[in-house]
Structures are given as structure tokens and as C-alpha cells.
A and B are shown apart, each in its own frame.
Chain A
Amino acid sequence: MNVEDVFSSRLRMKILKILFNVRELNVSEIARSLKINYISATKHLKILEDEGILQHKMFGRIRLYRVNEQSPKTKALQNLIDTWEHQNEK
């Protein structure tokens, strides 16, 4: 997926901001905090996972998503979001 396609979604950016903040979360909680349905959250999470930005782990029926700290894309994104938020605070 092209960079413009990944960043074209407000929801995906919000998911990233949440996960950068709390490290890991299950699908239901992500959906709840964004006020979207489970299927929609899963779709966006899958896109980010396919890009290697996120990864998930299963615990029984629970699927926990977290940022993939090994990925250079993740590091770049974290840097971008931190800089952006920091500048806005000023």
C-alpha cells in the first residue's frame, strides 16, 4: 500500500496515536475508544499490520495489538506523531 493510502484514513491515524500511547490494546477496546464497530476496527488494524507497523498476539480468544517496535516505519511514524503533537502544544 502506498504511503498516501495508509495515511489517508483518520481512523488509522487515531489507532496509531492510541497504540503509541498505551502500547497494546485489544480490538474491542480500540473500537470502543474510536466509537466504531468491531469489523471496521479489524479492517484498519489489518492494514496497519500488513504494513508491518502493528503486530498482534493471541491469548485464547483475546487478540492484543501493539506497535511493532522493530519496524523502521513504526519508528518514523512515532517520530512524526511526537513532533507534530509537540509543535501543536507550543
Chain B
Amino acid sequence: MSQGRSVFRDETKLDINYVPRRLPHREHELGLLREFLGFALQSPGRMAQRVMITGDVGTGKTVLSQRFGVDIGHEASTRGINLRYVHVNCREYGGSLFLILQHVVSVFHPNFPKRGYSAEELLPTLMQILDEENAYIILSLDEFESLVEREGSEAVYKLTRLQETRQNKPQRLSLMCILRNLDTVKKLDASTRSTLQSNIISLNRYAKQQLVDILNDRVSLAFEPLGVPEGTVALIAELAFSESGNARFGIELLWRAGKYADAEDFDTVTPECVREAVSSIFPVMRRGDLATLGLHEKLFLLAIARIFKENQVACVSLSEAEQTYTVVCEEFDASPISHTQLWKYLKNFSNLGIVETQVSGTGGRGRSTTISLPRIPAHELEKELRSFFEKRLEKS
């Protein structure tokens, strides 16, 4: 930002690794985790548990487990219990049990050697360390699929049945397996599967309004007051919803849009900033798609682009778009076509991913269609279409 001003108050609150205090719409699941693993505070060592958290990308699996980890670690320390929550992304370690265990051991002994022993030797080493330090671990295995794919049933079995080789000793290792769905678990043999599938927490995709709530929460933490208008949040929520209810995507988009606002020296994050941001994430507008459109499709799309370019709004009604289309037709000396045909064009734009449409108001007086331009910056779309018409004029 040129003047040193920024729409951000604290952009780290939008970082992928930030764990917020509040998890909107995941309170129930957080409560379930407390139920399943609460014994670690009440009677540590008396039992160990295995919990599976499933859900699509951006449904809050990682942040849920990390929030729980921070909370239970804090609570344990106030009670004088040496309980560590260790979060490991299995994919970062190539799904190798050896490397994952090495990481866990390094939590206690940071300079533990990296070679000279096997994975089989590391498990008893870890238990020895836990016994000596009278420590307990909740090991969170994020992207669990990666471990299963690389190591198969054997490794998971070893982890889950570890306690059986330690008769009459405190139970020190509980597992949280985080994965997208249970398909991966089906690949495991029956006995391993049975040790895992007792406590399952499934996270549903976020609904649009839930995404709005999550984004508003982050807006209040990360941005200056009034820095992000309601319409901008609604547009980002709409986009995140169309990406399978992916909250992580929405938060990343919020950050990018803020960066575009700063680069333009804006006071607020406008919907156009979001479109700029999204075009940097999504594949850029396909010129080929525009070339295949007919004359009136191009005129209609130009009208839509102009509305969004000139007004900082997140969506417009079809009737507004039609009015601007009539003006555009006058400009290019064309006779406007019917409402029904325009509606069909709009459907085509939507299929091509250029715009998104939403039908609202199913009451007595019929429906109204609203149009949003989430992925393509309006000024780019307008420029592209204008250059098409300029070339056409040059030819004639």
C-alpha cells in the first residue's frame, strides 16, 4: 500500500495456521471431541482412545483438532498433567511412519538422531520417553490417507495396538486420525479397522450462511472496522460455497482481496477486489469461450461487465442487466432481443462459469434472477469484449 495505510488490522488472523478461539458452527463437534478424549484430564493413563475426524476440504477438520489440542493442553497444564497434543501432517512426512514417529520423539528430544535405527525401534523408544517423563500424548494424524497409502494396515495396527504389548502400564498414546472420508479405512484389514472405527466425527460441508458467519468472525479479527462491506463477505461466501463449502478457500480469498484493496489504496475491500483475487486463483478467463459467443451474447455480457465495473456491488438483478443491455445495443446499433432469449444466454454464461445466477422470490409475483460475477474482474471482461467490438468496427 502506497501511503502505509491498510485495510488490515492483523492479517495473520487469516493465515492458514492460525487457530481462532471461536469455531463458529463447529461447537458441537468440539464438544464431542471433549467427550471422547476428556478421560485424558479426568483419569490419565487409565485408558487411551482413537477418534476419527472426517470431512471434505475446508470443512474445518484441522482447525477443529488444533483448537481442541490447544484447549486440552492448557487445561492439562493447569491440572499438573504432562499431556502433549502433537499434530502431524502425514503427507508432509511422505506418509512414513518412521518420519512421523521421529517427529513425535523430537518434541521431547529435539536433537534425537535422525538415523541409525528402524521404525520398529522408535515405537518402544517413544513409549520409554513417555514413561520416563510421565507424559501422555494425543497424536493427531492429519491427512491420515497418506500414512495408510504408504504403510498399509501394518503401521496403523502397530499404533493402535501399542498398548497391548505394555500390560499393566499406563496408557499414554491416544490417536486422532483426520481424513476426508472413510474410503481409505476400508483398505485396512478387518482387525485394524475395528480398532479405529469406534469414535467418528463427520464434518458436513458448510452452508452459505455458515460461511458468512465464519468470514465475519475473521473479518472482525483481521480487518479495520468497516473495512469489508457486507456484500463483499456475501460474495466470498458464495464463492466458497460453490467450492464445496470450503471455508479455507473463503478465508484465503478474503486475504487476497484485502491485498488487492491495499494495492489499489482502497479504504474497503470491494467486490471487484474479490474478483481480482479469485482470477488469480482460478484459471484466467478463457478467451476461447468468449469467442464462441454470438453477437447478442457478447452485447449482453458487456452490459453485465459494465454494471459490475461501474458499481461496487456483489450482484445485480436480471432486469437491471437488461436495461443496460438496451443501452449497449443502442451504442452498437443493434436491436435488443427478447427477455426469454437473454435468460437463455444467462444460463449459458453460468454453464461456462463466467457468471453465477440465483433465482429468488418464489412468492406469488413470480421469480427474480440475480447475477453475480465472482471469478472474473469486471474491468478485464469489459476490456476483452470491448476489444472484440473495436476489431469488428475496424473490419467494417
Residues of A within 8 A of B (CB): 22-26, 28-29, 59-62, 64
Contacts and interface: CB of A to CB of B under 8 A. Distances in A.
A16 B125 CA distance: 26
A64 B111 CA distance: 9
A24 B109 contact: yes
Given A59-B129, A62-B125, 19 more contacts: A22-B111, A23-B110, A23-B111, A24-B109, A25-B111, A26-B111, A26-B112, A26-B113, A26-B116, A29-B111, A59-B112, A59-B128, A60-B125, A61-B117, A61-B121, A62-B112, A62-B116, A64-B109, A64-B111
Interface residues of B, number: 12
Contacts of A60: 117, 121, 124-125
Interface string B104-119: 0000011111001100
Interface in B64-102: none
Nearest to A64: B109
B116 A61 contact: yes
Contact of A59 (B110, B111, B125): B125
A16 to B, nearest CB: 16
A22 to B, nearest CB: 5
Pairs of residues from A and B, 5 with the lowest C-beta to C-beta distance, nearest first: A60-B121, A59-B125, A26-B113, A25-B111, A22-B111
Nearest to A23: B111
9 contacts: A23-B110, A23-B111, A25-B111, A26-B111, A26-B112, A26-B116, A59-B129, A60-B117, A61-B117
A26 B113 CA distance: 7
Contact of B113 (A22, A23, A28): A28
Contacts of B110: 23
B128 to A, nearest CB: 6
Contacts of A29: 111, 113
B116 A64 contact: no
A32 B125 CA distance: 23
Contacts of A24: 109, 111
Contacts of B117: 60-62
Contacts of B116: 26, 28, 61-62
**B110, B113, B121, B129: residue with the most chain A Cβ atoms closer than 10 Å:** B113
A40 B38 CA distance: 51
Contacts of A23: 110-111
A60 B111 CA distance: 16
A67 to B, nearest CB: 13
A36 B116 CA distance: 18
Nearest to B105: A59
B106 to A, nearest CB: 12
Interface in B123-170: 124-125, 128-129
Contacts of A22: 111
Contacts of A28: 113, 116
**A23, A59, A62, A64: residue with the most chain B Cβ atoms closer than 10 Å:** A59
